[in-house]
Structures are given as structure tokens and as C-alpha cells.
A and B are shown apart, each in its own frame.
Chain A
């Protein structure tokens, strides 16, 4: 095999392994909280309040919120993994270990992304398994289910990395999740169908990428969606490309990393 490919493969494996070891080691902060949060959501919104709500497009409310809650946890965790890990490395200056080495920037990018994606997907599995205690789930479109899970965790891993690149303090890495991600997620059809909104708001909501992700993911699991899934895939793929290029350019230029 080409020695450069082998070297880069080892470098990629090193970052990925380090990332996985990190989030597994602190499993009580990374894997368990989503399971507890989602359990509370199922009890409160699914069982207590949900039992008094009517079905949405023929699906019980508790079933309806499973894809949204799963995706919400995946988004949050993918984002948190790359932003926290990369910023911590910046903060302790241990990021210099990577920057002085011979590995190219795209390997650093891929290493962190795969780490974030793995955590997001693992949390997604934990949440899905938790939901099985409350409601039976039969996945309707496996390819949509898997592809949207992978794409969503990829998008938010890159977004978290970009946030960490620009961040100058720990406050900066909690700003976007608090003031951008959370509102977009809650308004992104996790708990309701956008058909319940006035037409003007529906149009506005359809621009929210999280709504497109959640609804397409819902289509994968339950077979129902408020949005055109082809439109969603186009939007998501466009976002993936734009964010990846942006992130790579930032790393190449050394923004926030090199003076």
C-alpha cells in the first residue's frame, strides 16, 4: 500500500481512537444523560400529556416523537463531542501535538468528525433502545433512517468543530447550542407537525435544516413526513459540502490555531 495512505490511516485511527476512548471513559456524562433525558420526555410528553393528545397522521403521539427525540440527542451529542474535545485541546494547547506533526489537516478534520459522528450514532442507538421500553418501533425505510442519521451526525460534528475553531473561551462553545441549536431543534418538528402551523410559518419552518433532518428521519422510521424528503436530502448534502469546505479552509489557514 502507498506509504502516505498507510501513514495517514494510522494518524486518522489515532485521533479516532483517542476520541472514542475519551467519550467512553466519561460514559456517565456522554452516554447515560441522553437516555435519562429521553426517558423523562417519554414519561411526561409521551405517557402523561401524550395520552391525552390525538394521533398525528395516524401515529400515536408517543410514537410520533421517537424520531425527533432520537435525532435531537444525536445532533446535540455530535456537536458537543467535537466542540468540547477540540476546544479543550486548544485550551490546554495539546492541539499543538497534532499541528506540529506531519499529518495533513484533512486527517485532523476527519478524525474529529468520525469521533463526533460515532458518539452521535451511539447515543442515537441508546435513545432508540430506551424508546423501545415505551413504544414498539418498526423502521419503515432503513436506507433513509441510516443515511439521515449519518448525515445529521456529520453536519453537526462539522458545525461543532467550526464552533471550537472560532471559540476563545468555554462560554463560546455553549453559545451556539443554547441560542441557536436548541431553538431550531424545538421548532424543528420534534414535538409537533408543522402542518399545525399557519401557512406562512410553515414556509419559514421549512427553511430550518433541523426540521428537514428530523422529518426525513421520521419518514425513515414511521413512513410519514411533512417535508419533501428529496428537498431535505438536497439541503442536507449542500450543508455537508459547504461546512466541510469551510472547516477545511479554516484548518488550512490556521484560524484560531496559528498566529
Chain B
């Protein structure tokens, strides 16, 4: 079953600002899907339309085969939304926010309390349940937004940059929580600027740029499509001048670091052998940047060149 079907979705803002140019998207049930793109690409507009905070200009959106226009209530009851910006009443208490949110979905207070307790404990907020939101830290507010989105036990969870501005420890605990949630059957759609997050979490990735989907494929396929891998090698000894290394594109960064562009088909073994022939011993190897990040930058640049 498809969790989300978006067909010819278009959004034109006033002053003829075209945010979405008829995008098509399908997300299968159980998927962990990333929607990536640079700022202003149309990610948040897409999510805004899914959450009905933005009116679409044309196109159709179905959630678990419920059309959001004609089967509004059924479609909406399947969705949980974690917005990018905090949207709490700062004077409300944590538990009240959650129980009220559940109430808006028609969930009785008793069940709402049970759900709230479950997720608050999972995300280590139970002790803060009687606190007003304004007294929570930024990270706590982020977690509370996730709990609020889960209070109606949605089948589709949509997160708009959920880890923006959170510390590394919290980021990793959220990744773990979201992975568990996905393993329990919740379909997750995520937008993020952290490409390692998408690569680590998501099974499928769509890249949107200037209101158009320019790539939509499984994460592994996308990453493998990268023609070049840029590596940073650290040497055991100081090098003053880099010798000519056959077939490898290299440059010396500093006395103990070399940048190598490894083309598809070239192996690390061959590289090490060549280096070894020149008495260069390698102590450490690392990617210059995240592989998906490298691909993302290439695709966006290609799309820009195409548009130009």
C-alpha cells in the first residue's frame, strides 16, 4: 500500500511565485523517506500542503488512499506532523498540550493520557509534564513536538527538519527513536539539511530543486551513482612534494594530508600500492564529505546549469 501519493502538485504563491511545478511523489507504507533540497526548493511548501497549512494551487494528495480534499478527516487522522518552527502556546503545560492535541483528533482524555505517558517517557520528558512550555529547553521543545505529532498514533509521520539546532547526543537519540518507530511500521517522511542524517536513516530519497523533483531513488542507488569519491589520506611521514601517482588525481593539502579523487572502478588497494611504491605510508583514510552530500551538491549544480 502507498502511504502517500502526490500527483501534479503545484503551488503558486501571490506575485506569481511558483514554489511547486507539478511534482509527483509516491511513498510506500513502512518507508523511511527523505525529501532533500536547498533552501527555497519547495520542501516546506510540500509538507505544508500535506499538513493542510498551505493551500495547494492544483494537484492531488492521497494519504493511505484517502484523498485530502474529499476524505479530509480520514486522511488527516493518519498523519502526524512535526513542523520546522516551534508552534506552541508558551503558557500551556506539556501534558495539557498533548491531551488537547489528542482531543482535536477525537481521542478520549483517558487514552490521550496513556499515549502521552508512553511517548513522554520514551523521549525523557515525563518529569517535565507539568512544566509550562516556555520553561523547556530548545531540545525539549523539539522532543515535545515529536511527542505531540505521535499522540494520535499516526501511520505517517512527517518531520520538517526535526534535528535542526539540537546537540549531537540528542540528535543520535532521536535517530534511534525514529528508527525504532519506523521498524514498528510507521512510515516516516523527513526533510533535513543534514545529509548524513538522510543517508543514515532513509531508505529512499527524493531531491527537490526549484519546485521540481530532480531525483527520486533508493538511498544506496543514489550514493552508488556518485562517479567520484573524494578521500583525505593522512601520511605517517612529512611530504614536501607529491610524486606523480599514475591514474590517480591527487593534491597535497599539507605536509601530512593528501586529497585523492577516486574514480568509479579504481580501488583503494591500487592506490595504496602506488603510494607504497613511493614510500608513502598511510595512517588514516576518511571521506572528504559525506557521500550523499557530494552527490547532492553535484545534482543541484547540474540542475542549475540545466536551468541556465
Contact = CB atoms under 8 A, between A and B. Distances in A.
A147 B265 CA distance: 84
B100 A14 contact: yes
Contacts of B90: 92
Contacts, number: 88
B55 A98 contact: no
Interface residues of B, number: 34
Q: How many residues of A sit at the interface, in one of the four size bands?
A: 20 to 34
A9 B101 CA distance: 14
Contacts of A18: 100
A98 B106 contact: no
A245 interface: no
A93 B106 contact: no
A100 B54 contact: no
B106 A103 contact: yes
A234 interface: no
Contacts of B73: 4, 7, 102-104
Contacts of B148: 97
Interface string B73-101: 11111010101011111101000010011
Contacts of A182: none
A88 B52 CA distance: 20
A142 B205 CA distance: 67
A160 B100 CA distance: 23
B106 A259 contact: no
B100 A102 contact: no
Contact of A7 (B79, B100, B101, B106): B106
Given A6-B106, A258-B55, A100 B85 contact: no
Interface in A1-38: 4, 6-11, 13-15, 17-18
Nearest to B91: A92
A100 B103 contact: no
B140 to A, nearest CB: 17
A172 interface: no
A100 B100 contact: no
B256 interface: no
B107 interface: yes
B227 interface: no
Given A10-B106, A10-B108, A254-B55, A100 B79 contact: yes
- 9 tightest Cβ-Cβ pairs between the two chains A and B: A7-B106, A14-B103, A101-B104, A93-B87, A102-B76, A102-B77, A94-B89, A10-B106, A102-B73
Interface of A: 4, 6-11, 13-15, 17-18, 88-89, 92-94, 96-104, 253-254, 258-259
Interface of B: 13, 48, 51-55, 72-77, 79, 81, 83, 85-90, 92, 97, 100-101, 103-108, 148, 152
